Structure 1
């Protein structure tokens, strides 16, 4: 700092000394002044005071330390003294709040801090509550994560939480109150609805807040190793396992263990094989050539027919005579025979 800059700083001491009276001694005042440089009417320093969007005060007067935190190179002992600077009267009763616009906050800081107000960063309106406790969004996120950890840890695969949609802050009416996290509805991959409840020491719910979080669950599921057509029977060479996010599955995937199944719809390479898209391979399939046995009282005839539908043992299906093209309904006796009585 040049001699001229020091002289300018000392000249300005009398200008904002009332705002810094809470700092205590002249030595402390001088130390803070030397941390700043007055240039063309602008305060420059290696630190700033970030004003929070919400705060709680426990006294009759809102202090600078209630609403702001230092960012940068402001020594801790200097901040402790500066934080004790009184600003304005706090709400009269516990639980009562003040809603102050950004412009009003900036005006009040200029009035009480004078030039040092230039080092305050105000990002928006401010809500101040008398008494109680404040949980900001970071604290709420940590609380939700901790509350869901036990349920998440018991799930298979790789599980994580993201896209937290929480209140920007929650004011607790009393410092002894707590915030309970309940799952509202089903718990599983995808978006989870939550209910945040402020609970007093008597375990009575005081207030409620809605929230959601997205749960990702990466698991290995059976997928088509190559295109599969309708009516194709599954075999090991047609199946592979791939890592998929269960949050985006459209149903229950096939476990990939039990075969003897066939596709009921086409599936492309890499597509998840869902149980709903599979069916048991029938004993008789449409288009099979079968032997039709006519079982009369005194006569027994045999002829070749074509199955016109799928069926299992004992099912009645339509068949067509391969010679006469006549259609009848016959009962499936085995994989090669149908019977008409």
Structure 2
């Protein structure tokens, strides 16, 4: 009888040790994983803020059990203007960030983007009446989609575009205010002085672009386009 009781106690002791060992081998607790996922969610929400009217984020947990991640340092392997759609998120773990793991997330954004209200010819300047704002899922749009009408108004179409097209950045270029070989006025300003000189533009340029100009004495400067046939040199 005593032998049986000792045998049962020994069996329970061994079973308890095995359970502890399995817990130690099982990796991080659900609480650790949930805390890390919450930090990843907050990081993505901060990065996606302002991308649209509504943002919904789903972070997929790792498929395999992994050790607990102490002091997670979260980053985006591919920096983007607006992280939307399916994205990969990196997490550095440990004091020195020596261990890196990657998670997948879905960022759904609802908002407005810009479409053309009429056909536009190549080289034509975009006017406010040429555009219409459309509501929808921004994460389903091309990465270069134009969301703000002000980014398109005053720009020049790089190609012929049909009505209903979602405008993308490569569809547009700054409207040339200065053309190559044109005689322009170059303005130089400093503390207490303002000087203007005539010069020859050596390249075309749109608003804000920097191009080279040649002065009458053959000196070549780089100047910024500030208007029709007008340039500025900053000191």
- Tell me the TM-score normalized by structure 1: 0.38
Tell me, in whole angstroms, the C-alpha distance in 2 between the residues paired with 1:234 and 1:312: 25
Equivalenced residues, count: 169
Is 1:215 aligned with 2:107? yes
Is 1:144 aligned with 2:40? yes
Is 1:269 aligned with 2:135? no
Q: Is the 8 A contact 1:136 1:168 kept in 2?
A: no
Cα deviation code 1:127-147 (max 9, x no counterpart): xx3xx6423898364453244
* Pairing partner for 1:253 from 130, 138, 146: 146
* Pairing partner for 1:161 from 42, 48, 57: 57
Tell me, in whole angstroms, the C-alpha distance in 1 between the residues paired with 2:169 and 2:55: 23
- Following superposition, the deviation at residue 264 of structure 1 comes to 1.8
- Tell me the TM-score normalized by structure 2: 0.51
Q: 1:266 to 1:171 in 2, by over 3 A?
A: same
Q: Is the 8 A contact 1:144 1:181 kept in 2?
A: no
Q: 1:146 to 1:227 in 2, by over 3 A?
A: same
Report SS of the residue matched to 1:61: helix
- Following superposition, the deviation at residue 240 of structure 1 comes to 0.8
Tell me, in whole angstroms, the C-alpha distance in 2 between the residues paired with 1:313 and 1:61: 90
Q: 1:312 to 1:237 in 2, by over 3 A?
A: farther
Counterpart of 1:134 in structure 2 is: 29
- Aligned CA-pair RMSD: 4.3
Higher relative contact order at CA 8 Å, sep ≥6: structure 1 or structure 2? 2
- Following superposition, the deviation at residue 170 of structure 1 comes to 3.2
* Pairing partner for 1:234 from 122, 126, 137: 126
Tell me, in whole angstroms, the C-alpha distance in 2 between the residues paired with 1:266 and 1:138: 51
Tell me, in whole angstroms, the C-alpha distance in 1 between the residues paired with 2:111 and 2:74: 26
Q: Is the 8 A contact 1:60 1:91 kept in 2?
A: no
- Structure 1 unaligned runs (5+)? 1-58, 63-87, 98-128, 285-309, 317-333, 336-341
Tell me, in whole angstroms, the C-alpha distance in 2 between the residues paired with 1:153 and 1:283: 35
Q: 1:232 to 1:151 in 2, by over 3 A?
A: closer
Q: Is the 8 A contact 2:73 2:97 kept in 1?
A: no
- Following superposition, the deviation at residue 207 of structure 1 comes to 4.5
- Following superposition, the deviation at residue 225 of structure 1 comes to 0.8
